[in-house]
Structure 1
Amino acid sequence: MSTPILELREYRPTDSTDTHDFHQVVIGLSGRMSLSLDGQATQHGRVGARNGAVIPAGVRHGYRGDGPNRQIVLDVPAAIAHATGTSRAFAREAFFALDAGLLALVHRVSASVDSGRPLDADDPVVREWLAALAPRLAPARHASRTVRLDVSQVDARLQSDLATPLDTATLAREAGMSVRHFHDCFVAMTGETPHRHLMRLRLARAASLLLGEDAPLADIALDVGFNDQSALTHAFRQHYGLTPAAWRRARSARSAN
């Protein structure tokens, strides 16, 4: 591989592993994917619409799409990284959060890639992409110190009691971090804030309960941590596009067919 490749990809919902001789940056555009980085310190995280991951050449990584997803992927030969002065950005594997500037660039890059035009080492899109990513990926950045956070352990602690979940301060203390550092690490490794993540877990549990039993919606709301049925209905409709009652009817009708 002698030139960079910048393209949109969708990762399948199957567990896969890979190792390659070029650097790679994966940034979420829509949906989510799980990613493990087995480099200097194994990290397990997720790439969503507000974060990304850098995978240096030679680092084995496992990945799996979590439902429909679109990722912007930049494959960078080591020679191109050296020529553009960005080699330091690929010194270690890491997850990182997107700031406002990178989020805007993501959409511009997406439009360029969708146009289907070929890219080469001197393409301004590639140059701009690397120039914007380099400060975020450099080993000195704050986000590089996220390797101690075990996202799966945080998930397990939250899932154990969604009705009365642990607050961020408690989760941070258990992880041995300040609240601010825990928040920054969590966003870097999952692409969402702890609060948004908790909300998604609650709604997923509610959806599961709606499928598995005929419990009243008010009871399901309390079971997953909402104050009342109205609060669950509002959040559920925002996330799934249907009220819980309509969602249950639709799934029941589909099962009957």
Structure 2
Amino acid sequence: MIGVRGEAEVVVDGCGSRLDTWSACLVPTEAFHDYSGNARNHVLVIDLDPCLPAFTNPGHEDYDRMAPLFERPRALRFDSRLQSLVHLSAGEFALAPENTAMHRHLAAGILHCMSERLVRTPSRATQSHFSPDTIRRYVLENLHRKITVGDLAGVACLSVSRFHDIFRTMTGTTPHQYLLQIRLEQSVKLIIDTSLTIAEISHRAGFSSQAALTNALRKHRGTTPSALRSGN
């Protein structure tokens, strides 16, 4: 399942994942999964049936390279090139809904690109299949809203407790502390580099109020928004 427009929630074998325009969720054939979206969502679903003769035909040996994609449930974040390919393909599907040959070729191209990225991405830890960079990108893309540890665990396709343990091992901090650090970093940058009101900055950085931002800056950075803006 690949996000094309909007956001949706996918749960695969009890592991939650968020679909947006920069992500996909890979679901093994035997895995139980639930999907939750609305009329504004657009999700591209590529179904593969391993029992189809085409997958054992010598002319389709290249499909063997994609088998590791579906060894277990996993979430994949896109780079800009892969996202462009997905959106181009979704547009072509809409323009030619009856052209099944074109659909198969474009879908296979998307899967091959996803497979190549998974092969090229080194594992930072044998017990995990995510990187701190992936988590940071997700946080920055969703900074304006409430982000839970469950959301981050969903990006990594791990249980909350497992994600918490692995994340702390990999980064030396807890997910809650990491979220706060990024919110503060972005708040400081906006206070210094823009003329936005402190209320607007607190909203963009995901703080519940201007007072919450001020208190967090005072407690963790020893400063206040007015002091930062005045250069003191």
> What TM-score do the two structures reach when normalised by structure 2?
0.45
Higher strand share: 1
